[in-house]
Amino acid sequence: MQRQLLKILQYLKSFLARILKRYDGNLPYIITSVIAVIIVIFGIKVFLELTDALKTTYLKNFDTQVSDYVQGFRSDPLTTYFTFVTDLGDVTGYIIVFSICTILFYFVFKSWKYVAQLGLVMILALSSNILLKQVINRARPSVEHLVTVKTLSYPSGHAMISMAFYGLLIYLVAQFNMSKIYKVLIISLLIVLILSIGVSRIYLGVHYPSDIVGGFIAGFIWVVFCIMIFNLIKIFRSDPRT
């Protein structure tokens, strides 16, 4: 992605140098940042339109059918597993995982940059989730809850933050200098974890499937936005022609 951004910036530089008499070398970076903001705003607009569609009969039936299917598999072993993974998508879980990542990033990669990036995307996802829940104000499902919940339902905070946090972690792992086998293994485990956290909220009866889909979409928007900004900053600092 960094190479693709660099190509875009080089093209913009060349294009702007031809059409602008007084060319500002930082202009391509500004334009690229504006594009990133537009993508996020557009994504939020699509997300809100999807939220309005949740009131339709079709999506209500979808929620009911999927919930009944998932909860039909309830058993003691699955309840134990999904309770565990849902805890990994809660405050305590993130504190533990974030602490482990902090130790590894500092002692292995000798850098606080990755810690700051993970912290930023988590804060953005958490704060925006709280805001969206208050604005949309959707009640929880009326079925039996296997865990205690106190907040509103849509979008799922577990789904949104897990997609943002573990999604960015997947991107960081892909950039690390390590064996491909380890990369594939870690990334696969993180993907399974993200999906498991989402399914756990349906299984435990505390979310509609549409809550999970909306959370995943919103979380993915933050992942894409942050990756673009991080790469843009890196290119801006390292490009000697700016």
Q: What does the alpha-carbon distance between residue 71 and residue 188 come to, in Å, rounded to a whole number? A: 25
Q: What does the alpha-carbon distance between residue 140 and residue 19 come to, in Å, rounded to a whole number? A: 55
Q: What does the alpha-carbon distance between residue 212 and residue 156 come to, in Å, rounded to a whole number? A: 5
Q: What pLDDT sits at residue 30?
A: 64
Long-range contacts from 29-33, C-beta under 8 angstroms, 24+ separation = 29/232, 29/235, 29/236, 29/242, 32/5, 32/8, 32/228, 32/232, 33/229, 33/232
User: DSSP assignment of 55-74, as one string?
Assistant: TSHHHHHHHHHHHHHHHTT-
Q: What does the alpha-carbon distance between residue 172 and residue 162 come to, in Å, rounded to a whole number? A: 15
Q: What pLDDT sits at residue 202?
A: 92
Q: Are 160 and 125 in contact (CB under 8 A)?
A: yes
Flag whether pLDDT at 192 surpasses 90: yes
User: DSSP assignment of 22-53, as one string?
Assistant: S--TTHHHHHHHHHHHHHHHHHHHHHHHHHHH
Query: Mean pLDDT in the chain?
Result: 81
Q: Would you call 6 exposed, middle or buried from its count of C-beta atoms within 10 A (0-12, 13-18, 19+)?
A: middle
Q: What pLDDT sits at residue 84?
A: 92
Encoded amino acid at 226, one letter:
C
Flag whether pLDDT at 61 surpasses 70: yes
Query: Sorting pLDDT into bands at 50, 70 and 90, what band is 240?
Result: very low
Q: Which two tokens stand for residue 127?
A: 């704060």
Taking CA atoms, 65 is separated from 46, 72, 153, 175, 220, in Å, by: 24, 11, 18, 40, 25
Q: What is the pLDDT of residues 118-177, one digit of tens each?
A: 888 888 898 989 888 888 888 888 887 888 888 788 888 899 999 999 999 998 888 787
Q: What whole-number percentage of the chain has pLDDT above 70?
A: 82
Query: Sorting pLDDT into bands at 50, 70 and 90, what band is 225?
Result: confident
Q: What pLDDT sits at residue 199?
A: 93
Flag whether pLDDT at 20 surpasses 70: no
Q: What pLDDT sits at residue 23?
A: 46
146: DSSP letter: S
Q: Which two tokens stand for residue 99?
A: 């602490």
Q: Are 117 and 173 in contact (CB under 8 A)?
A: no
Q: Which two tokens stand for residue 60?
A: 């209500």
Q: What pTM, to 2 d.p., does this model score?
A: 0.78
